[in-house]
Amino acid sequence: MGREQYTTTTEGTHIERPENQCVYKIGIYGWRKRCLYLFVLLLLIILVVNFALTIWILKVMWFFPTGMGHLQVTKDGLRLEGESEFLFPLYAKEICSRTDSPLLLQSTQNVTLNARNSEGEVTGRLKVGPQMVEVQSQQFQISSKDGKPLFTADEKEVVVGTGKLRVTGPEGALFEHSVETPLVTADPFPDLRLESPTRSLSMNAPRGIHIKALAGEIEALSQEDIILHSSEGTLVLDAETLCLPKLVQGTQGPAGSSQGLYEICVCPDGKLFLSAAGMATTCQEHSHICL
């Protein structure tokens, strides 16, 4: 490496430079300079392309200061216009639609709504599938707009809070066990039928059973016995005409003795039969009917 020499002179003095003087060139020259310019040009092109792609993405995705596309950020939360598809679970405190349009949730498989506690356990679930709607909760309740319970179901009982429960099926309602109700009625024109195809039909009430037909007749049919029982009171058949058309009749006595009149006889087991009337009772004469 050469050594630089420094000489101090005064005016009017001429000193000759040494012959062996070292000259240093500062800067980048030759192929290195051309490579540097090429690299800077390449970076500039990449910057322009990235800027153009960013502008294109912002335009395609509809980015705005207030949101992105149909999704807008407001002071009350997020507002989404049009149809949206969520590929992963959606967590929200409240989901509501516009006042002039309904809220539609649809899926090709099922729609599931879960409610969780602070520990992350599912406390309530509503699952709408292609075959059925499943509700998993301690209690299921449907209320009216004023908060009155209309239908409540839990593990112990099902409560219908409406003024009238209407069953519109052609086969009526099927109950596998007992039913407790203060009133059973039909529509004004169709008949009311209470039947048990393979078992017995029993009606019990602590203070009486009232069967009323205002515009028709009451008919009771049974394959075996029909029992009307009152534990403390009496059985009253109050009507202008009481007909028992299929009662067993005893043999009529001598001609003209009964004058076409009959008396009703009762067997010890409660069986009724007719006996031709006479001057005295004739039930004993036909007691063989009770056997």
Q: Which helix (H) or strand (E) holds 210?
A: none
- Cα–Cα dist 151/275, whole Å: 58
Report pLDDT digits (tens) over 192-244. Answer: 888 887 778 888 888 778 888 877 788 888 888 888 877 777 777 777 777 77
Q: Are 274 and 264 in contact (CB under 8 A)?
A: yes
Report pLDDT digits (tens) over 252-269. Answer: 555 545 566 778 888 888
Report pLDDT digits (tens) over 54-86. Answer: 999 888 877 777 777 777 777 777 777 777 777
Q: CB-based contacts of 59: which residues, under 8 Å, 6+ apart?
A: none
> Vertex 142, ends 140 and 146: CA angle to 5°?
140
What are the structure tokens assigned to 37, written together? 């310019």
Report pLDDT digits (tens) over 2-40. Answer: 445 555 555 555 555 555 556 666 667 778 888 989 999
- Strand ranges in the chain using DSSP code E only, listed in sequence order: 63-64, 67-68, 71-74, 77-80, 111-116, 122-128, 133-136, 140-143, 149-153, 158-160, 248-249, 262-266, 272-276
Biggest CA-to-CA distance, the chain:
190
pLDDT of 24: 61
More confident site: 13 or 186: 186
Report pLDDT digits (tens) over 275-284. Answer: 877 777 878 7
